[in-house]
Structure 1
Amino acid sequence: MLLALESKNKLKFIDGSLPKSDSSDNLFEAWKRCNTYVIAWINLSLSANISQSVIWNHIASDLWIDLKHRYYQGDKFRVAELYEELYTLRQGDMDVTSYFTKLRLIWEEIDDFRSIPSCACEVECSCGLGTVRKYRIEDQVTKFLRGLNKQYAGVRSQIMLMEPLPNINIVFSYSRRRVAGEPRRQREDGDETAAAPPTNSETAATTPVEREIVAVAHGERARRHHSCGSSQQWQPE
């Protein structure tokens, strides 16, 4: 709902920053029309029982506050449910993509309830929010790896020894590529293949897993630059 209102530039009608205009104001009719739109959008998103209980509320900000006071306390229980679901989730019979997608949905809903504020530091973070955000990213990588099936035990152990840990999207992309490439590696076992010369970042990596993760990161960055139409070549960090 918030995204829909923001896309229509109507958030000010529910946060109280655009109060009701006086009936003699030239903008009153415009405010009234927009306020009616917002109320209709909110009512359409509610269940029938809840919608009937707020049908007489004709000011969008009052309607929003009323709903928030009714159901805000339930958010705490929902957050607890999300963390319980997160801790118990394992890959099991799912493929890596389905497992990662379920984790991503839980993480995004938790972030919606418990988002980390943006850091206002100009150069180097001194407020501690950067550290909090780093810990959350590390927790996501750790949870993803610990929930994978046993065949990923070797890769999981080597990634967990890396400092700093790779981005969660890089770890997922690497894990998925390992599964897709396993049959090919089995077919090519014993064949003589010409190895591509290592890049500077691959040479700096100390293990095969690190070198392959660097290659995955290189490919992800290169695709993003290409899709954005950038001609600047990505350089390893």
Structure 2
Amino acid sequence: MAMGRSYAVALMANTNDQNSSHEDPNSPYYMHISENPGQILVNPLLNESNYHSWSRAMKMALLSKNKWNFVNGSIAIPSKNDPTYHSWERNNNMVASWLVRAVSPSIAQSILWIENAADIWTDLKERFSEGNAFRLSDIQDEISSLRQKGLSVTEYFTQLKLLWDEMMSIRPLPVCVCDPKCKCGAMTKIIQYAEDDKVMRFLKGLNQEYMNVKSQVLLIDPIPGMSKVYGMTVKLEHKLVSEESDIIHANSVGMSIPNSEVKTNLINAVNGNFKKPGGFGTGQKPKCTHCGKLGHTVDKCYHLHGFPPGYKFKARQDEGQKSISHTVGIEQAGFTNEQLQYLMNFFQRQQVSKSRDPAVASVTKGVAKQVGNENDHYSGKYVSLINVDEVMNNDFTDWILDTGATDHITCNLKCFYSYEPVKGISVRLPNGTYQAVSHIGKVKLSDVLWIRDVLYIPTFKYNLISASKLTKQCKCWLTILPDCCLIQETHGGMMIGTAKEHNGLYHMKQYRIGFDRGNINSSVLCNNVSKRQLWHYRFGHAPDSRLSHIECIDFGSTNNKEFVCDTCHFAK
């Protein structure tokens, strides 16, 4: 009777211990009410090639749920008479279900009938971790061939780090097992060598615009750690992105020289259109920069675009409109002494073209002479229109849009907007020879199209635009047609450039002058505008198919196939 009572007491004690372990969150037998066998703990699922990354992720998931002991074999299988057997069986089946859910369907069929979760883990390890040597070789090849290209610095570094971590899991660095530990410092050197290798591998895969970081790191002795080099590269990336944003902003507003105020005054100086500092956004009436009248802007000026049918003219006309062109003083134009000096230096830097159009030159010089006679007493304080013919006669450079080129290349140093000398860079040409690159920089093809990382090769004979780099740098797409190639922004689809087909190649024109030729005084260009173009502008950019029905207007016999209206293209 006493023995039966003692057995009952012992059984109750075991039951109480078992219940307490089930309720203790620190116990491996504890299972939260939200756990279920249908959970997928890791993603992506295990396949034939990702065992090492999958096993690492699965181990972390099981450790977070306090179930890793059921996989590594530290919890032995209790006998069926043991009070903890049912708890072990419940947890084992839960972990086994998680493992089955964490592998691909084809692999899941091969482990579905294995009852012990530890046996499932061992089976997967034996089957998929045997090819460590081959996988290690593949990782080394991937690290060696990885380049930044179109990736950001963070994305490029992340891909490298994933490969480094996987390689370290397959072949970790040795650990000193000496007792007591040796003091030779060999392990410290091994770790430092591995860190230096990572730094050099990271730098070697960067794009050419990070050449400054490469040079700075190589000059530092000893080589800084990977974290510091990564930070230096990210700072330079932010600087480059900021510069690119400035260029994009400049493109959007048609900017061609750095100082927007000076640029505006410069164009107005050529056009003869000025307005005093200030604006009409504070309740004032808008003022036209062409005729000077209040109540409308230049885009709606009848004096510039033509009067509508039935317009009643007033008896008094503004005498100022009869003037072809005139110069304006510093006070009226809003120029400061520094801006005037900038303009003087700007015009002095312009190279006068050897071949000038006599008609344009004579008209320009005649206007300048007339202005000079009327304003001799303001000599030295006005911008002379004699520089307009220098601006107009700057020739353009021909560029070829090449889908097979990997880099932008130019043979003319004058094409650059900005550049810097480089050393140690060579390019393999299609004929198999290598040519040294002496400079690299930015090129402005038009007011809305810039390219960077352009290589200067003096011995080359052509100017090439890499189609792949153009689409990445300018965020655009190319539409190749039989007679031309259209360049449009990916956001909005605005036309930012065209390349015309000639002899099987697509050619683009780059004007060497810094601002748009369309901004030059219309009185100088009027002799070069055909009648059809003039009526196209006056009728609000009406298409030729509509203008051809107007019989009372003589469009002349000029062939208009070469006429391309930039405003119509940009409006699309």
Q: Distance in 1 between matches of 2:79 and 2:239?
A: 67
Which of 235, 248, 251 matches 1:177?
235
Count of aligned residue pairs for this structure pair: 187
Which of 173, 181, 205 matches 1:147?
205
For residues 70-219 of structure 1, the aligned pairs below 5 Å read: 70-116=127-173, 128-182=186-240, 183=242
Q: Distance in 2 between matches of 1:69 and 1:162?
A: 46
The residue aligned with 2:62 is 5
Which of 105, 109, 116 matches 1:59?
116
Q: Distance in 2 between matches of 1:85 and 1:137?
A: 18
The residue aligned with 1:231 is none
The residue aligned with 1:27 is 84
SS of the residue 1:14 aligns to: helix
The residue aligned with 1:46 is 103
Q: Which has the higher strand share?
A: 2
Return closer, same or farther for 1:119/1:31 CA change in 2, 3 Å cut-off.
farther
Please report how far the alpha carbon of residue 160 of structure 1 lies from its aligned counterpart in structure 2 after TM superposition.
Answer: 2.4
Which letter maps to 1:152?
Answer: Y
Which runs of 5 or more structure 2 residues have no equivalent in the other structure? Answer: 1-57, 247-257, 259-572
Q: Distance in 1 between matches of 2:113 and 2:183?
A: 48
Q: Distance in 2 between matches of 1:124 and 1:4?
A: 37
Q: Distance in 2 between matches of 1:49 and 1:27?
A: 34
Which letter maps to 1:176?
Answer: V
The percent of aligned pairs where both chains have the same amino acid is 34
Return closer, same or farther for 1:127/1:179 CA change in 2, 3 Å cut-off.
closer
Q: Which has the larger radius of gyration?
A: 2
| TM-score (structure 1 length as normaliser) | 0.69
| TM-score (structure 2 length as normaliser) | 0.30
Deviation sequence 1:102-152 (CA, Å, 0-9, x none): 112212222222233666799986574333322222111111111112232
The residue aligned with 2:368 is none
C-alpha contact (below 8 Å) 1:82/1:106 kept by paired residues: yes
Return closer, same or farther for 1:40/1:131 CA change in 2, 3 Å cut-off.
farther
Q: Distance in 2 between matches of 1:125 and 1:142?
A: 28
C-alpha contact (below 8 Å) 1:36/1:58 kept by paired residues: yes
Q: Distance in 2 between matches of 1:19 and 1:79?
A: 34
RMSD: 2.7
Return closer, same or farther for 1:14/1:127 CA change in 2, 3 Å cut-off.
farther
Please report how far the alpha carbon of residue 43 of structure 1 lies from its aligned counterpart in structure 2 after TM superposition.
Answer: 0.5
Deviates more, 1:31-40 or 1:111-120: 111-120
Q: Distance in 2 between matches of 1:8 and 1:115?
A: 26
Deviates more, 1:2-11 or 1:148-157: 148-157
Q: Distance in 2 between matches of 1:165 and 1:119?
A: 25
Q: Distance in 2 between matches of 1:165 and 1:21?
A: 56
Which letter maps to 1:137?
Answer: E
C-alpha contact (below 8 Å) 1:119/1:125 kept by paired residues: no
Please report how far the alpha carbon of residue 175 of structure 1 lies from its aligned counterpart in structure 2 after TM superposition.
Answer: 0.8
Deviation sequence 1:7-57 (CA, Å, 0-9, x none): 112222222221211112222222111111111111111111111111110
Q: Distance in 2 between matches of 1:18 and 1:120?
A: 28
- Bigger relative contact order, structure 1 or 2, given CA contacts below 8 A and separation 6+? 1
Q: Distance in 1 between matches of 2:185 and 2:77?
A: 38
Deviates more, 1:24-33 or 1:52-61: 24-33
Q: Which has the higher helix share?
A: 1
